Amino acid sequence: MPSRPIAYLCLALSMSLVGSYVALSKPLAATFPVLLLAWMRFGIGGVAMLGWLRKPADEPALAPQTRALLFLQSLLGNFLFTVCMIYGVSLTSATSAGVIMACIPACVAVMSWLFLRERVNARTWVAVACAVLGIALFALAKPEQAAHAAASSASAQANLQWLGYLLLLCASVCEAAYSVIGKKLTASLGPKRITSLINLWGFALSTPFGLYLMRDFDFATVPWGMWLLLVLYALAACMWTVWLWMTGLRAVPAAQGGVFTVLLPVSAALVGVLALGERFTPLQLLAFGLALASVVLATLPSRLALRVGR
């Protein structure tokens, strides 16, 4: 089991990478059909982790409950998160993902209260309210180009954006569930084994869609730079981030792990602004500030707990 400082570093690196590939999935989603992209992602990750599938000699056999949790974690945290996140970013922007996914710590707190029967104080409920308000403000912020478009075109674009916001919110809930389930799995399985098994489930779930979509897709039109980005995206999304997250959760309680999800929306928004040429409007900056305020409110008790050594 890693020491606390190493565990914190693993969690921080994991969420920073997740936020980065959330933003960089936008050009990939413009090149590949989303479900084909998801299938190729899991396939590349699976090849890279073939050696991780072997059961260690000191690891117990998979119990039925563990098998169910592995499937559920892959369904929510791998398959549905990937589909909702990529579709959501393709319909909105990386900065949108950054703002909306800032509600993940609050989602983790609510799920801990509902499913793990953990006590959630009033400060966390205020954090949930701030996150919802931030999401609502961001959804009301119109992109600049919409003001110059025709009314019908602007209306259609607004409807697509609302769908994108809803998908990103669903992705946030899936990511929160992934964190809660992951903590339970680390009690019986090693990080590499969890990473490889949930990726295998993700590949199985996406294979029917991938095989269907690849028939009509012209792979020869994809530039080599996009293939390189796909490989890096697959390794980061399927292998590096999951292994780092599971390694950190072995030594850190789930509530403290939720602190580090703040790095997901921050890095996603920063990559969108710095690498993809996006920018914040004043209303979006206010929404982002509210979302980050929700993160501070939701995680402050955990930080205080760290200081007093609980």
Q: Which domain holds residue 43?
A: 4-307
> Which phi and psi (to 5°) does residue 231 adopt?
-65, -45
What pLDDT score does 188 carry? 86
Tens of pLDDT, residues 251-270: 877 766 766 776 776 777 77
146: pLDDT strictly greater than 60: no
Q: How far apart are CA 241 and CA 261, in angstroms?
A: 12
What is the percentage of the chain residues whose pLDDT exceeds 70? 84
Q: What secondary structure does DSSP assign to 214-266, as a single string?
A: HTT--GGGS-HHHHHHHHHHHIIIIIIHHHHHHHHHTTS-HHHHGGGGGHHHH
- Could you tell me if 134 and 272 are in contact, meaning their C-beta atoms sit under 8 angstroms apart? no
Q: How confident is the model at residue 243 (pLDDT cuts 50, 70, 90)?
A: very high
pTM, entire model? 0.77
Q: Give how many domains the chain has, as a whole number.
A: 1
- The pLDDT confidence band at residue 145, using thresholds 50, 70 and 90, is very low
pLDDT digits (tens, 9 = 90+) for 14-73: 988 888 887 778 789 889 998 999 999 999 999 999 999 998 888 888 899 999 999 999
- Distance, in Å, from the CA atom of 47 to the CA atom of 108, rounded to the nearest integer, reads 31
| Residue 166: other Cβ atoms inside 10 A | 16
